[in-house]
Amino acid sequence: MKKIQVSHLSFGYDKEKKVIHDASFAIEAGSYTTIIGHNGSGKSTIAKLMIGLLESDTGVITVDDLELSEANIHEIRDRIGIVFQNPDNQFIGASVADDIAFGLENHQVPSEEMQDIIEEFADRVHMRKFLNSEPTKLSGGQKQRVAIAGVLAMKPQIIIFDEATSMLDPQGKAEINALIQDIHSKSNLTIISITHDIEEVAHSDHVIVLDQGHIVLDGTPDEVLFHEQELIDLKLDIPFALKLQHALEAQGLQTKPCTTMEGVVDELCRLHLKN
């Protein structure tokens, strides 16, 4: 089932210069979609258009059966949560509990229900111990976990992660990636991740590649990632697994094409045992 349908979307910050050109794509309900492209390719702009933070010049965005318009923008925003890149720019509360409460207050959740909801979602992101902590006492990864709790507390159906791990240290990155995987596996949330991490892309269900506001590739990781030369020309990374297969081929060893490290390891072990 299609969760989001984008048709012929165009947008420019000023009239002469379009940053999104006639973009069309669809996202399946419950899927994990990654959007890649080098800086300035329009990835974040697309995210902002999808949640109605920016208004498109032409084109249609449909979420479920709702066509995004000024009339239903609030209804659509209730369905889509977004987590941004910089943990410091999205921490609004004076404490973790405050920060999670922010969205709930905006939705007039009665205060007697609020405490339970805050605790439930602080638990969900393993931040229960820190409910009264100030943001300055938290690491970047912890702040991002709080941001995710705030989004989850609004019970969205779709979450967009806009480079949510790119400013974190490796430990923070690993924590957040594991949390996103966990959320995805235990719910029917639709996840859209704007990322530079090609290994994350290889493990996703669906990849959209943007270049200068155009959608240039759209499909499963296997359908997209084997277009290696195209990815290189777009100044994007290619997965380690593919680089390795070329190196093995140069040594006269053919392996079954595969985009993930686990896949290549399994294949090599199979060949090793068979012989």
Partner 1 sequence: MPITFEKLTHEYNADTPFAYLALDAIDLSIEEGKITAIIGETGSGKSTLVQHLNALLLPTKGSLTVLDRTITAVEKPKQLKELRKRVGLVFQFPEYQLFEETIAQDIAFGPKNFGMSEEAALKQAQKMLQVVGLSEEYAERSPFELSGGQKRRVAIAGILAMDPDVLVLDEPAAGLDPQGAKDMMELFVRLNKEYNKTILLVTHDMEHVLTYCDHVVVVDNGHIAQTCDKQQFFKDSTLLRKLRINPPAVIRLRDELNQRGFSLPCDLIDMDTLAKAIADEVKAHE
Residue ranges binding partner 1 (CB under 8 A): 38-40, 85, 139, 166-167, 169-172, 174, 196, 198, 235-237, 240, 243-244, 247-248, 250-253, 261, 264-265, 268-269, 271-273, 275
β-pairing verdict for 206-211 and 214-219 = antiparallel
Give 4 or 198: the residue with its C-beta nearer to partner 1.
198
| Under 8 Å between Cβ of 19 and 62 | no
Provide the β-strand partners of residue 33: 192, 206
* Whole-number Å distance between alpha carbons of 200 and 64: 26
Give 110 or 170: the residue with its C-beta nearer to partner 1.
170
β-pairing verdict for 80-83 and 214-219 = unpaired
Provide the β-strand partners of residue 20: 11
Both tokens of 101, joined, read 């409460």
Minimum CB separation of residue 195 from partner 1 in Å reads 10
Minimum CB separation of residue 77 from partner 1 in Å reads 27
Minimum CB separation of residue 186 from partner 1 in Å reads 24
The pair phi, psi for residue 223, each rounded to 5°, is: -70, -35
**Using alpha carbons only, how large is the chain's radius of gyration in Å?**
20
Minimum CB separation of residue 269 from partner 1 in Å reads 5
Give 190 or 195: the residue with its C-beta nearer to partner 1.
195
Give 125 or 234: the residue with its C-beta nearer to partner 1.
234
Give 103 or 263: the residue with its C-beta nearer to partner 1.
263
Minimum CB separation of residue 243 from partner 1 in Å reads 7
